Amino acid sequence: MNMLIQVQDNVLCRYGITRVLENGNSMEKAAVNVSIIHGHLSEARAKAMSSRGRNVEVGSEYFAGALSIVFHPCNPYVPTFRSDVRYFEVKDFGWFGGGADLTPNYLDEDDARYFHTFLKEICDKFDPDFYQRSKSACDSYFYLPARKEHRGIGGIFFDDLESFTVDDHKSENSIMVKEKYKSERAQVFEFVCQLAKGFLPSYLPIVKRKRDLPYGDRERQWQLLRRGRYLEFNLLYDRGVKFGLDGGRIESIMVSAPPLIAWKYNVVPEIGSPEAQMIETLSCPRIWV
C-alpha cells in the first residue's frame, strides 16, 4: 500500500509518503514513513522542545523531515526492528535525531551482539564515545516505568544532535563560530546518512537466520503479549507519537503499531523458561559489546 498526502494552509505545509507491507512471507507488517513538515510551532510543540533545553518560542517557523521504519516479523523468534532519522530546524539552527533498536520476544545473545556491534562501528567512525552515550540514552528512553522493564534490548538513540563535540560558544555571533558550527553539523549529517544506510544490513541477517525456525502456539501467544508491551510504550511514552498527534496524520502516526496483539492479566512466565529469561534481560540493560 502506498499512501501520499499533501496539505497546505497558512500555517502548515505537510508532505508524506507511507508504504505498508502486510501478511508477507517474513513480515506480518512492515512500514516506512517519510514526512516533511514546514510550519509554525504550536504551544505544545514549543513546550516539549523547551523542556529539552531548546530556547524556542511559540509561533516560531520550523522545518522537520523524518524517515522511519518498523518491521513486525511473522516468526516469534525474529525480533521487531524500529529505526528512524530526523532533522528539525528552527530559525538558523538545526539538529538531528534518530536511532535503531531491537525488540525480541526470545533472547539470542549472538543477535544482540551482532546488532550492537554493527551500530557501534558506525558510531566509532565519528566519535569513540558516542555509541555508549546513545546506547545509554536508548536504554533510558525505551523503558516502561509502570512495568519496570525495558521495551527491548536497545540499540542507539539520540536527539538534539548538532555536533560530536561539546562547544559552549555556539551562541557567539562570529564568522569563525558560525563556520565551525556548519562544519560540525555537516559531520553529523554524514553520520546520520551512514546510519540510515546501515538500517537494513544491521537487521536482515538476523531475519534470514531466524525466519524459518519452527514455532508453535506457545511462542505465537508470547509474541502477541510482547507486542502488547510494544504498543503500550508507543501510546503512553513515545515522544514522536505525541508530536505527531499534535496536528499530524493519524494513519501515518499509528502505522508503527503491531498488526495483532494480546493482553492477558498478570502473565508470569515459568521460572527458568525462555520467556522468563527474556523478562529478566529486560529488567536491566546489558552491555553487549
H/E run at residue 19? strand 13-22
pLDDT at 6 (0 to 100): 42
Residue 73 — pLDDT band, cuts 50, 70, 90? very high
Residue 10 — pLDDT band, cuts 50, 70, 90? very low
Residue 4 — pLDDT band, cuts 50, 70, 90? very low
Average pLDDT over all residues of the chain: 87
258 has pLDDT over 90: yes
Cα–chain center distance at 102 = 10
Is the CB of residue 95 less than 8 Å from the CB of residue 88? Answer: yes
Name which residue leads in pLDDT, 255 or 175: 255
| Residue reference for cell 521495551 | 151
Length of the chain: 289
- What is residue 228's three-state secondary structure? helix
- Distance (Å, whole) CA 287 – CA 117: 11
- pLDDT tens sequence across 192-228: 999 999 999 999 999 999 999 999 999 999 999 999 9
Q: Which of 157, 156, 180 is nearest to 170 (CA)?
A: 180
Cα–chain center distance at 73 = 17
> For the ranges 4-8, 127-131, 149-153, which has the lowest average pLDDT?
4-8
64 has pLDDT over 60: yes
pLDDT at 52 (0 to 100): 64
Percentage of residues in the chain having pLDDT higher than 70? 84
pLDDT at 58 (0 to 100): 74
- pLDDT tens sequence across 16-48: 899 999 999 999 999 999 988 887 777 766 676
- Supply the DSSP symbol for 79: P
Q: Provide the total of helices (H) and of strands (E) in the chain, helices listed first.
A: 9, 9
Name which residue leads in pLDDT, 61 or 7: 61
pLDDT at 152 (0 to 100): 97
- Distance (Å, whole) CA 228 – CA 3: 26
Q: Which of 83, 261, 92, 240 is nearest to 170 (CA)?
A: 92
- pLDDT tens sequence across 134-171: 999 999 999 999 999 999 999 999 998 989 875 544 45
Is the CB of residue 78 less than 8 Å from the CB of residue 210? Answer: yes
Through-space distance between the first and last CA atoms of the chain, rounded to whole angstroms = 38
| Residue reference for cell 497558512 | 10
Name which residue leads in pLDDT, 163 or 244: 163
- Distance (Å, whole) CA 218 – CA 221: 5
Is the CB of residue 206 less than 8 Å from the CB of residue 200? Answer: no
3 has pLDDT over 50: no
- Distance (Å, whole) CA 68 – CA 82: 8
One-letter amino acid for residue 106 of the chain: Y
Q: Which of 8, 60, 55, 16 is nearest to 35 (CA)?
A: 16
